[in-house]
Chain A
């Protein structure tokens, strides 16, 4: 996917002035935050579970090669194939080759952020293969021709009225006067549209929430059951997953599953948790004839052993963006690439470079709410700060900011001079602002006074007053 992260500011400007988007974003609070809070409060061992989840992933990442090779052995033993892909291009070609061999004309797809990452849909279309998204949210944005704006609720930026319009425009064979108001109306209509597509599809592509080394299974969680249909009804099941999705055992997956749905949607479990272990065996009643796992690296192995390794613990629950005030203000598209919100602010520069995505780790107040809800205890603000440090050290920070910091640091390391300057500033600004108590505009402070007043100082610095009253002690 082509990134527009460089124009984050312009993207954000557009988003802030888009009244429809702002209305859609208003649902995050009740839709996600409240539900998560309730279900987390109901589980006394939630904090201990977070520790376990973090430890499982840390252990796995420390022995990633071992667990991935073990996973591959098991997949092969089950009759499947693992394809190791370093780059998005390799992953796309691998999938295309499978589709070509199966003479596929349509493929059904379960929700997959890694498929977004490699730009799979556009690539398949360019090769005359029609991808059909089966997750309701993905289906909506596919007919709208938009990328997802959220990692678990891809169409969160769309209002019901817009969906109704899109469905009427797209499903022209249906009665134009039909009711399209409630979420159920949309689900029913999308399901009816998709039913035949499942049977027609030659290949079903899904993502994976976990890869289990012990058994060679891949796991997906959904609330619509569309993933199951995709992988069971297609004759060939292709799983696309990034390599950090592996966990050692079924038990480990069970532990993290307890964190995942609670953190994501505020459910105890998602409605469907589906384990796929190889293709159909002779005695099985159903299942695909072929089972492929396309394992994507795309820069992740380069994060191992760096300040950013902890990011690879991420289980894509979206709690961080659901609780992020910046995400709530601008929505997911503003971030300009596949992964938005706090996790995207760390992952995006890691995967596509800090030159491209430098804004993202800067566009944070470091309020820390993301880290406080992250089930895997990923220190997101700390890693954003690491990116700021890299940027600064490479001289990429804006010259105004660098100049300002240099002056400030010069003063702040010379207390006597600093005291003199702040004492003066307090007096001057205090005198100027005495009558009104605040400034509506101030030279060099347009960033502040453009949107809010600058309260005037009281008029004397604390240190000056203290010296007078207490003789400086």
Chain B
């Protein structure tokens, strides 16, 4: 089933925040890229797997009240852009957090959670979400 393949090939990024680092200039990319937009040809073949740091701080956030059907049971829920300790920005949901206590600069960590599922008998998608560091 194609949906399985689509989910499976992104596991390294979704589970482990695996991106890439350019062997030419050192820039870290998430999600992975096959070549470095800064180095272009000089970076081809020099991209290395790189796991982005799971800890970082909230760069900006929103609380979602109107959501796609697959996430409607979560409403309201929070999402954020997080600046990791690598200096890379990553987007994801914020969970285990009081919605009115969220603030820019708050330290968070990526954990593995259920993202959504393809109906009752379909596959369940897992991926990272961010939780506050107590």
A is bound by B: no
Question: Which residues of A are interface residues toward B (Cβ below 8 A)?
Answer: none
